[in-house]
Amino acid sequence: MGRKYENILETIGNTPIVRIGKLAPAGINLFVKIEAFNPMGSVKDRLALGVIEEAEKSGALKPGQTVIEATSGNTGIGLAMVCAQKGYPLVVTMAASFSVERRKLMRFLGAQVVLTPATAKGTGMVAKAQELAEKNGWFLTRQFENEANPDMHSRTTAKEIVDDFEGENLDYWVTGFGTGGTLKGVARVLAKEKPETKIVVCEPEDAPMLTSGTAQERNADDTPAASHPAFKPHPMQGWTPDFIPKLTGDAVDTGVIDRILTIKGADAIHWSQQLAQKEGIFVGISAGGTFAGALKVCEDAPEGSTVLCMLPDTGERYLSTPLFADVPAEMTDEEIKISESTPGFHMEPAA
């Protein structure tokens, strides 16, 4: 593929796979697939394009029709880009607990953002989107159950991985899940094309819903009836809503998952910082969580193994979150000392 494109949507996907140098244990080939290279900085750009193009093809989405989705942010940001380029109005429902910069980004791209109470969690924003879609005749993209989501990952993410490891062993592929679109779409292709690859799924220690093995109470239309009993709030935005999405459940049911790991929020933040400071790879909290899982895999992997870890989004989406809580805005004592070591311009100390 060349470097000249007809529109921004053609730049979605084809993200780089990069070897980890300093943070990889000796004797293991550890790679990351950096989804922050997508135009709006996350893996969800793929889903956004996949569901809209599929709906255009099937006729479910009419020219100029309003699109609506429930999203913790990245899907809304991806959809806002796709809808802006293609000329569809977009309404997003989002729980008020997600970071402020996400709302602003969507509005900047021309979308409208309807907030739902933080206490109603993911199930609340999904229910609100359904109500609004029915009342107004809007097109609901249904990211948590729409087959166009995993289909896009099978066609793009999985194909890229298979191509990039052609003729080489890939022993482990490590991911988290939001909808489960990445998981379902990639795992089924790897199972066929690279059957040696073990599929490893990470989830928050505070929301170990897959690990718990507990199924979830569902309404007649297969939407969750209430929060999963094993769910507690966690800092990995974009990972693991308070219900087991249909697409994730499908991947579990097909038996493609070899191992499920639980990750502490503090470890996710730590490894996101380490990726930035030791490897120059700037990614979000859930990426740090997936990387923490990949390091656990490395501990048990035989020497010479190759591990690939998904990094779903950019760190820039987390400026107002715990990821940046310890990063000061004012000069530190050390920085003041550096400044005062020459007689030139000095800042007055902060009041």
Ligand X SMILES: Cc1ncc(COP(=O)(O)O)c(C=O)c1O
- Which parts of this chain interact with ligand X (CB under 6 A)? 42-44, 74, 175-183, 238-239, 284, 286, 312-313
Active site residue 154: no
User: Taking a C-beta distance cutoff of 8 angstroms, is the pair 242, 122 a contact?
Assistant: yes
42 or 227: whose CB is closer to ligand X?
A: 42
Exposed, middle or buried: residue 340 (CB in 10 Å: 0-12, 13-18, 19+)? exposed
CA distances from 306 to 168, 261, 279 (A): 9, 18, 18
Q: What residue type is 348 in one-letter code? A: E
155 or 331: whose CB is closer to ligand X?
A: 155
User: Taking a C-beta distance cutoff of 8 angstroms, is the pair 150, 184 a contact?
Assistant: yes
CA angle 87, 315, 171 (to 5 degrees): 100
User: Taking a C-beta distance cutoff of 8 angstroms, is the pair 45, 297 a contact?
Assistant: no
Task: Determine which one of 154, 286, 296, 305 is catalytic.
Answer: 286
184 or 194: whose CB is closer to ligand X?
A: 184
Residue 264 carries which DSSP code? -
For residue 277, the minimal CB distance to ligand X (Å) is 20
3-state secondary structure 101-158: HHHHHHHHCCCEEEEECHHHHHHHHHHHHHHHHHHHCCEECCCCCCCHHHHHHHHHHH
For residue 5, the minimal CB distance to ligand X (Å) is 24
Active site residue 286: yes
- Residue number closest to ligand X, CB atom: 238
- The residue whose two tokens read 């790679």 is 31
For residue 293, the minimal CB distance to ligand X (Å) is 10
For residue 285, the minimal CB distance to ligand X (Å) is 8
For residue 4, the minimal CB distance to ligand X (Å) is 29
250 or 339: whose CB is closer to ligand X?
A: 250
13 or 178: whose CB is closer to ligand X?
A: 178
Task: Determine which one of 44, 128, 198, 246 is catalytic.
Answer: 44
The catalytic site residues sit at 44, 286
